[in-house]
A and B are shown apart, each in its own frame.
Chain A
Amino acid sequence: MKTPVGFNLQPPRPLWGIRPPTRKSASMLRPILVAYAPERVVIPIRQCLGMAAAPIVELGQQVQTGQPIAAAIHAFGGPSGPQVHASISGTVESLGAHAVPGPMASEEICVTIRSDGLDRRFTGYDGLGDPLQMSPEQICTLIAEAGIVGLGGAMFSTASKLAARGKVHTLILNGAECEPYITCDEILLREHAAEVLRGAKIMMRALGATQAVIGVESDMPEARVAVHDAIDADGCDDVHVSVVTAKYPAGGERQLIQLIMGREVPEGALPSDIGFVCHNVGTAAAIADFFRDGRPLISRIVTVTGSGINEPLNIDARIGTLMADLSELADGRRDDASHLIMGGPMMGVSLPNDELPVTKATNCLILMQPREISPPRREMPCIRCGECNQVCPAQLLPQELLRASRQHDIDALREFGLDACIECGCCDYVCPSYIPLTARFAASKLEAAEHDAEMAQAVRARARFEAREARLAGAREARELDLKAQVVEAHVSESIADVMARVNARDDQG
């Protein structure tokens, strides 16, 4: 563990992946706009992947900026997960279901706060002290309290990921923002590289990692220079910068690890199983902010861009800000903006309207005019050209998966590695027959999960049936034994009666 593990400062160009037009420059023209506290915020209480949450405020309660309003709950009673905080000060106006951004028009329990216009700070996290002097456990607990989750878009609990202590020697910070349009990580590195560096050191302390590698793409030279400058200014020798080829999806966790470390994460395993942990650069900056200012995760950088926006830029927006308010800050949306996408154009979700809150997963909002979107095209038969096999970053065979998916053959889907599909959309992008492969694979994953659940239920039902049969058989046997004992007893008592009768008969004779 002590010897540094080798990595690539300039990883070789990957064979997989695609190079769609990046369209990043529009939102990079302006510095980050720190948005003022909005009039009203709608904050979903569940903002951590795979965890339930419960609100801890009441209707009408006065809250301060940064005060906890909900906590994530581990299903099996582990330590409590990341909290959610009020992002403005004011009154809790409502507590109930509100539409939230998601793949389907979904609703979640949200806390709506009406601003008192003062933005009073919650002081509960002041004076935490130097995190580099704290124990790793203490750092993890505080990070969960600060509500910090992965800001790359997955919202996975950062504290849980940092708890892989002892196994991890290299921390990888993901600044390889490979999806088109999105620039929030690039601009963060340009403007706040020192904070990312500080966050990296805190994470390394929590993990017990001996080195950190910040991965950036080759098309963001300013960010690279900024990070190098920050490292030089700090004088540390255990944080490095690796420049990966700007190719989509180089910023996928497994892809980035493969490029930088030259090792593939086995299917079904986690990066920490082979000694790496990958975090987003935004997450590192959020951790640094929290330990310096006592400011929990109440805002994040959102790229607001697309041809439907008058002035594309990056906004440091409070969590819970409505998307409509955000587009106002970007000088409004154009009249003919017809499509709203959260995340990138490759893996993002299309949203029905802009009356939805910004969550911890909202890295980018794209407003598109109709001309920016390719028209829907009729799906045609697979001609087995093999383009999809070449671009797949997980080295799968999408055309084989497609065949298995059409036949609903779960075993074949598994055999061809359906679970390793990251749904990046590269195969869709190159398919000359316009087959919506990724959508199919996503549906197949659901189908496979359903199948698994059914199999598990069958195994349980069988065990319960057999246990019941055994119990009933046992009861039957016990009853039979009982009966036999009664018969024997009856026999014995009968023979005693016989003997007595004979004795009496003899006495009578005598």
Chain B
Amino acid sequence: MPNGISAAVVFMGVLAACIAVVLNIAARRMSSNSDAVIEQINRLLPQTQCGQCGFPGCRPYAEAIAGGRTALNQCPPGGEATIFALSELLNRPPTPLNPDFGQHTQRTVAVIDEDACIGCALCLQACPVDAILGAHHYMHTVISIECTGCELCIAPCPVDCIEMASRT
């Protein structure tokens, strides 16, 4: 009899160990870790890095959404399409774009008036995607295919020589 009990204990022990190993692996493989969620959210954002949502770039906004700290309707460049995509992904009800953060408009591109530029290099630091080319005391210009139209370079310019123009 004692022999039967010890066999059962050993058997259950081995079984428990096996299940523990399987569950551990599964937990690691299939965890809905927050990095993956952030990545999925970030992929739906328009990557203008404009900061209109109140966060310094698209990824920080994605992190805030994943953490449940903010609403989905704060991205003006993405507009309705982004709101719908996010609400579908996160299973949260879509709400109209919050006008406090701006209006959805046609994508634009920054243009530097090269005659007026004094080469202060302030806009270079402001550009979130390194789309402005220039150096101190030399004229700057916008690499227009890389410009996301975020308008972050407008404010720092001391001579107001940057304007937003329509694409094409």
- Which of A130-138, A261-269, A418-426, A455-463 sits within the interface? A455-463
With CB as the reference atom, state the residue of chain B lying closest to A469: B57
Shortest beta-carbon contacts, A-B, top 7:
A458-B47, A464-B129, A461-B47, A462-B47, A465-B49, A461-B148, A461-B129
Q: Point out the residues of chain A lying under 8 angstroms from B107, CB to CB.
A: 454
User: Is the CB–CB distance between B128 and A465 below 8 Å?
Assistant: yes
Among candidates B46, B58, B130, B148, residue contacting A467 with C-beta atoms closer than 8 Å: B130
A465→B46 contact, CB < 8 A: no
The smallest beta-carbon distance between A454 and chain B, in angstroms, is 8
Confirm or deny: B48 has a beta carbon within 8 angstroms of a beta carbon on chain A: yes
Question: Per-position contact with A for B63-96: 1 when CB-CB < 8 Å, else 0?
Answer: 0000000000000000000000000000000000
Cβ–Cβ contact A468 & B129, under 8 A: yes
CA distance A457 to B146 in the complex (A): 7
Residues in A whose Cβ lies below 8 Å from that of B128: 465, 468
- Check B131 for interface membership: any CB of A closer than 8 A: yes
Find chain B residues with CB under 8 A from A466 CB. Answer: 59
Compute how far the CA of A460 lies from the CA of B46 in the bound complex, rounded to whole angstroms: 11
Q: How big is the B interface, by class? A: 10 to 19
- A465 near B146 with CB under 8 A, answer no
Given the complex of chains A and B, what is the CA–CA distance between A402 and B162 in angstroms? 43
**Contact A468–B130 (Cβ < 8 Å):** yes
For the complex, give the distance between the alpha carbons of A476 and B39 in Å: 25
Structural contact, A465 and B58, CB atoms closer than 8 A: yes
Nearest residue (CB) in A for B127 is A468
Residue-wise, chain B 127-168 has the 8 Å CB interface mask toward A (1 for contact) of: 011110000000000000110100000000000000000000
Cα distance, A405 to B48, chains bound together (Å): 27
A458 to B150, CA, bound (A): 12
Task: Please measure, in the bound complex, the distance between the C-alpha atom of A466 and the C-alpha atom of B60, giving whole angstroms.
Answer: 12
A461 vs B131: C-alpha distance in the bound complex, in angstroms?
9
Chain A, 419-474, CB within 8 A of any chain B CB: 454, 457-462, 464-469
Asked if A461 and B130 make an inter-chain contact with CB atoms under 8 angstroms apart, the answer reads: no
Q: B59 — which chain A residues lie within 8 A by C-beta? A: 465-466
Q: How far is the CB of A465 from chain B (nearest CB, A)?
A: 5
> In angstroms, how far is the closest chain B Cβ from the Cβ of A104?
14
B139 to chain A, nearest CB (A): 22
Q: Counting chain B CB atoms within 10 Å of each CB, which of A454, A467, A468 scores highest?
A: A468
| Chain A residues closer than 8 Å to B46, beta-carbon distance | 454, 458
Contact string, B94-134, partner A, CB cutoff 8 A, digits 1/0? 00000000000001000000000000000000001111000
A458, A459, A460, A467: most-surrounded residue (chain B CB, <10 A): A458
- Contact yes or no, A461 B57, CB < 8 A: no
Complex: A364 Cα to B139 Cα, angstroms: 53
**Chain B: minimal CB distance from A362 (Å):** 29
B55 to chain A, nearest CB (A): 13
Q: Output the residue of A454, A460, A461, A468 with the most chain B CB within 10 A.
A: A461
| Chain B residues within 8 Å of A469, by CB | 57
Taking a contact as CB atoms closer than 8 A, the residue among A459, A467, A468 that contacts B47 in the complex is: A459
**B131 adjacent to A465 (CB under 8 Å):** no
**Closest chain B residue to A459, Cβ basis:** B47
Smallest beta-carbon distance A414→chain B, Å:
16
Write the chain A residue with the least CB distance to B56: A469
Chain B CB within 10 A, most for which of A465, A467, A469: A465
- Report how far A468 CA is from B59 CA in the complex, Å: 13
CB neighbours of B49 from chain A (8 A): 461, 465
Contact of A460 among B57, B58, B146 (CB under 8 A): B146
22 contacts between A and B (CB under 8 A): A457-B47, A457-B145, A458-B46, A458-B47, A459-B47, A460-B146, A461-B48, A462-B42, A462-B47, A462-B58, A464-B129, A464-B130, A464-B131, A464-B146, A465-B49, A465-B58, A465-B59, A465-B128, A466-B59, A468-B128, A468-B129, A469-B57
Give the residues in chain B near A458, CB-CB below 8 Å.
Answer: 46-47
Extra pairs beyond A454-B46, A462-B42, A464-B131 (14, CB < 8 Å): A457-B148, A458-B46, A459-B47, A461-B49, A461-B129, A461-B148, A462-B47, A462-B58, A465-B58, A465-B129, A466-B59, A467-B130, A468-B128, A468-B130
Give the docked Cα–Cα distance between A458 and B128 (Å): 13
Closest to A458 in B: B47
Report the Cα distance A467→B42, complex, angstroms.
Answer: 16
Which residues of chain B from 20 to 48 have any CB-CB distance to chain A below 8 Å in the complex?
42, 46-48
Give the distance in Å from the alpha carbon of A459 to the alpha carbon of B42 in the complex: 11
Q: Which residues of A contact B145 (CB under 8 A)?
A: 457
